[in-house]
Amino acid sequence: MEMKITFPGGKKVTAEFNGRSITTDQPLAGGGEGSAPTPFDYFLASIGTCAGIYVLSFCQERQIATEGLALTQRLEFSTTADGKERLAKVAIDIDLPPGFPEKYRNAIVKTAELCTVKKVLMDPPEFVITARKA
């Protein structure tokens, strides 16, 4: 898979792949227009939405009603010894819909833990960054 990263203006950065575009921006305080989520916002959202598609599919496959189904993702940050803020904990609560079968409570948690984004974080890839002339 290959993504093309382009710079449409201001502090916006766009990733183009598979016929789609994802545009990011920085907040006003960071010199941007605040017109789109930041790259880090997308990263954080990818964790919850990844777990969410697993949870949604779990219910749909078992014909369990999904009205009222939701996930709440809480993020905890800590400060490192050199004063930088880092993401320290991601906690996800699955809000089960009314009538959700109790026998599936543990299974739906295990299903959410299958999230591909979480798995990549647990076993990070190698990063190789180079510079070349266009």
Task: Spell out the domain ranges in the chain.
Answer: 1-36, 38-134
pLDDT in tens, 109-126: 999 999 999 999 999 999
> What would the pLDDT profile of 95-105 be if each residue is shown by its tens digit?
999 999 999 99
With bands split at pLDDT 50, 70 and 90, how would you rate the model's confidence at 8?
Answer: very high
What percent of the chain is modeled with pLDDT above 90? 99
Q: Cβ(108)–Cβ(54) under 8 Å?
A: no
Q: Is the CATH number of domain 38-134 2.40.30.10?
A: no
How far apart are alpha carbons 54 and 32 in whole angstroms? 34
pLDDT at 33 over 90: yes
Per-residue model confidence as pLDDT tens digits over 46-94: 999 999 999 999 999 999 999 999 999 999 999 999 999 999 999 999 9
Distance CA 52, CA 111 (A): 10
For residue 108, give both structure tokens.
């739906």
The four Cα atoms 111, 101, 53, 39 give a dihedral, to 10 degrees, of -80
From 48, 47, 24, 45, select the one nearest 36 (Cα to Cα).
Answer: 24
For position 134, what pLDDT does the model report? 82
Amino acid at 114: L
